[in-house]
Amino acid sequence: MKKVWKGFAAAVSAAAIAATGFIGATSAYADVAAGKINITGAAAADTFTGYMPFVIASERTTGTGEAAVTTYQYTMNTAGGFTATVVQNIINTVDPDNGIVSPTTDAKVSEWVKGYFGADSGAGFAFDSTKAQSFAKAVIDAAEANGLTPAFTNQTATQLSAADSPAGYYAIKQTNEPATGTADTTTMSRYISGNVTAAAPLTVAIKNTTVTSVKKVQENDSNTVNGTTDTRLPAVNINNNFNDVADYSIGDDVPFEFIGTVPAKFGDYDHFQYIFKDTMDPAQLQLVEDSVQVYVLPAATTNINWNANGTLQGGTLLTADTHYAVTVDKNADDTQKGTFSIAVGTNVPATTEPAAAAYRDLKGITYGADNTKLAAGDRIVVTYNATLQQGAEIGRPGNVNTMELEFSNNPYDVYDTATTPRDEVVVFTYELDASKVDSGNTETKLNGAEFVLWKNDKGTENNQAANLVQATDTEGNAIAGSYIFTGWAQAGTAGTTLKNGNGSLFKIAGLDEGTYYLEETKAPAGYNKPDTFFKLVLTATTANNQTNGSNANTGLTEIKVNDAANSGNAATGIGTANILNNKGSNLPETGGMGTTILYAAGAAIVLIAGIGLAVTLRRRQA
């Protein structure tokens, strides 16, 4: 009488699958009809390929209800290429200490299976997902190495459930490579394995989830969004003015934020790569290399809040080099190329036999006093600063910064990776163009004025003047009246003097939205120098939202100066204003020629008054 072995597990994927069938003695076995393979949770584009190393030749069920026990009689599927030699190699690969020797027979195979999976008081084989996974992997590896014909190839879950599959044991792998860099990019499922019969279809539920990542930039002015969610992270509230659009001055350090999720299938992986990749134009933005911080945020924490001291509420700060590595791409002269990466995980060194490149393993991270391991649903949160450069784009399309996250996509090959969709944020900066004109006729342009730009109004304690550099053309020649803002001078230190060049216009590029004060330090000839500062309020309307990336054309919609109509152009990022001057009609300073003229005029008045008085007195006497 031939021994039979228990049916393999219905599946081993992201969830545990119940075992079906048990070994038992046969007496009256019936032929076995084809059955169904039902995979739930799969995406419409997911495809699967399956191999059937063993045919279920017959089955027998004893007992009823919960006491029912089904046993199967298996034969090697030699028609499918699973010869005795192939099967023996599979078994000896999985269990080299307790393998089988030639000749390989169905009986020997059954005996090995019983010993490998274990007997449970004669009731059958106890299910062991780790061993089932190892066996399924060995089957698929052998089938692919020997070029065996699959039982089915690249079938969707819908196609599989509609078809009748011959009775047998199947090892199934997900075969589609989701389009990397799209919203459909998913982590691939572990191998699925189990018996298929008419009475007991193979039914498994896989987790069709993926790694999600978003990039944010922090706004420092009035256009703020807090406590809102991004459509890609519906359970997360993003705070502290982090969103998709911001505006800054040249020279400012701009804070950025990455948020990445740990996938639901994380437990299916023994090793996992997780690499943030950032791209910016180095003429516009450059990484502050010592500013990178990486945190773990547990899945239960739904708010991303930064404390005043720069730490993440509820998060655990990871240690550079130990838990992550930052790589900044450099030119030969050590200048930044504009790309850098953050590989999160412990270091796994390269090996030579077998040859394998070094990588960072997210599965290797433990953190906190309890050496907590990362789990599905946790988040990796990164923050860093980048300095807005003198080559920044003024107005639209702005200074775009993009990020994508590369992650392991195959439970059986850590080097098989995919990427999340590229996410971008935009940093805007603006230009203020001011014309010096006559107060009585703004069409009269005035030359020869000089100015200093201030952070606050006249008389403000510890006020700061602007540092500026002269703008140049493509050949490096200075452009008269055109300047680039580089930052604020220390209080008590002189700033840069602006001159309106050969015409009335002067330009200051690289300004944030905000209020500025202009001191006229030299008036045009024939005009008075004002005693007060000119107040200039530069206002930009930006779409500070939580969307899937930012469109610069909608991210910046309006610019105004002093709320005047038609005083700005959002496309160019330029706000315009007139600086009025009055002609010289005020009292000159003491000691000037004007004082002498006044003295003479006063004396004449007194003399005339005296003559008039004398004439009047004589008339009265007459």
**C-beta of residue 521 within 8 angstroms of C-beta of residue 222:** no
Same domain, 128 and 242: no
* CA dist., res. 186 & res. 293, Å (int): 27
Closest CA to 385 of 248, 486, 256, 512: 256
Same domain, 260 and 370: yes
Average pLDDT over every residue of 175-201: 76
Same domain, 281 and 420: yes
pLDDT band for 594, please (50, 70, 90 cuts): very low
On whether residue 10 sits in a domain, the answer given is no
Q: What does the pLDDT read at residue 589? A: 38
- Long-range pairs for 368-373 at CB < 8 Å and ≥24 separation? 368/316
Q: What does the pLDDT read at residue 610? A: 54
Q: What does the pLDDT read at residue 547? A: 63
Q: What does the pLDDT read at residue 387? A: 99
What radius of gyration, in Å, describes the C-alpha atoms of the chain? 39
Number of Cα atoms under 13 Å in the Cβ half of residue 531: 1
Average pLDDT over every residue of 428-442: 95
Same domain, 83 and 161: yes
Same domain, 419 and 280: yes
Distances (CA, A) of 411 to 320, 490, 539: 26, 56, 52
Enumerate the β-bridge partners of residue 359: 348
Average pLDDT over every residue of 288-310: 95
Average pLDDT over every residue of 424-440: 95
Q: Which residue reads 């701009």 in tokens?
A: 254
Mean pLDDT lowest among 106-110, 141-145, 567-571, 574-578: 106-110
* CA dist., res. 77 & res. 51, Å (int): 10
Last residue of a domain, one of 205, 228, 263: 205
Secondary structure (DSSP) of 208-219 = -----EEEEEE-
On whether residue 2 sits in a domain, the answer given is no
Q: Using alpha carbons only, what angle is made at residue 137 by residues 127 and 101, rounded to the nearest 5 degrees? A: 85
Q: Tell which wins on pLDDT, 42 or 415.
A: 415
On whether residue 369 sits in a domain, the answer given is yes
**C-beta of residue 534 within 8 angstroms of C-beta of residue 436:** no
Q: How many CB atoms lie within 10 A of CB 86?
A: 22
On whether residue 14 sits in a domain, the answer given is no
Average pLDDT over every residue of 496-520: 92
Last residue of a domain, one of 156, 182, 205: 205
Q: What does the pLDDT read at residue 14? A: 30
Q: What is the DSSP letter of 7?
A: P
What is the DSSP pairing of strand 303-304 with strand 233-238?
Answer: parallel
Same domain, 148 and 234: no
pLDDT at residue 98 tops 80: yes
Q: What is the DSSP letter of 99?
A: -
Average pLDDT over every residue of 231-255: 91
Average pLDDT over every residue of 492-518: 92
Q: What does the pLDDT read at residue 124? A: 34
Average pLDDT over every residue of 587-616: 45
Average pLDDT over every residue of 239-250: 94
Q: What does the pLDDT read at residue 101? A: 87
Mean pLDDT lowest among 38-47, 499-508, 587-596: 587-596
Q: Which residue reads 């919203």 in tokens?
A: 183
pLDDT at residue 60 tops 60: yes
pLDDT band for 512, please (50, 70, 90 cuts): very high
Number of structural domains (the chain) is 4
Distances (CA, A) of 4 to 25, 57, 112: 7, 10, 11
pLDDT band for 41, please (50, 70, 90 cuts): confident
Same domain, 41 and 99: yes
CATH number assigned to the domain comprising residue 218: 2.60.40.740
Q: What does the pLDDT read at residue 194? A: 85
pLDDT band for 28, please (50, 70, 90 cuts): low
Q: What does the pLDDT read at residue 224? A: 63
Average pLDDT over every residue of 171-185: 70
Same domain, 480 and 551: yes
Q: Tell which wins on pLDDT, 126 or 113.
A: 113
Same domain, 283 and 148: no
Q: What does the pLDDT read at residue 83? A: 96
Last residue of a domain, one of 374, 389, 424: 424
Q: What does the pLDDT read at residue 115? A: 76
Which of 167-181, 310-324, 437-451, 535-549: highest mean pLDDT?
310-324
| pLDDT tens for each residue of 61-80 | 888 887 877 777 889 999 99
For 338-367, b/e burial (b = at least 16 CB within 10 A) is: bbbbbbbbbebeeeeeeeeeebbbbbebeb
Tokens of residue 146, six digits: 């020997």
On whether residue 25 sits in a domain, the answer given is no
**C-beta of residue 37 within 8 angstroms of C-beta of residue 198:** no
Q: What does the pLDDT read at residue 583? A: 87
Same domain, 446 and 524: yes
Share of the chain above pLDDT 90, in %: 63
pLDDT at residue 125 tops 80: no
Which of 198-212, 546-560, 580-594: highest mean pLDDT?
198-212
On whether residue 316 sits in a domain, the answer given is yes
pLDDT at residue 7 tops 60: no
* CA dist., res. 458 & res. 116, Å (int): 86
Number of Cα atoms under 13 Å in the Cβ half of residue 476: 0
| pLDDT tens for each residue of 383-420 | 999 999 999 999 999 999 999 999 998 898 999 999 99
Same domain, 42 and 140: yes
Tokens of residue 86, six digits: 């192939």
Q: What does the pLDDT read at residue 111? A: 79
Residues 6+ apart with CB under 8 A from 612: none
E strand or H helix that includes residue 337: strand 336-344
Average pLDDT over every residue of 527-532: 94
Domain around 576:
430-581
Q: Tell which wins on pLDDT, 474 or 374.
A: 374
Share of the chain above pLDDT 70, in %: 83
pLDDT at residue 6 tops 60: no
The chain-wide mean pLDDT, for the chain, equals 85
* CA dist., res. 325 & res. 64, Å (int): 60
Q: Tell which wins on pLDDT, 231 or 440.
A: 440
pLDDT at residue 99 tops 50: yes
Mean pLDDT lowest among 7-11, 362-366, 452-456, 460-464: 7-11
Same domain, 498 and 601: no
Q: Which amino acid is at 370?
A: D
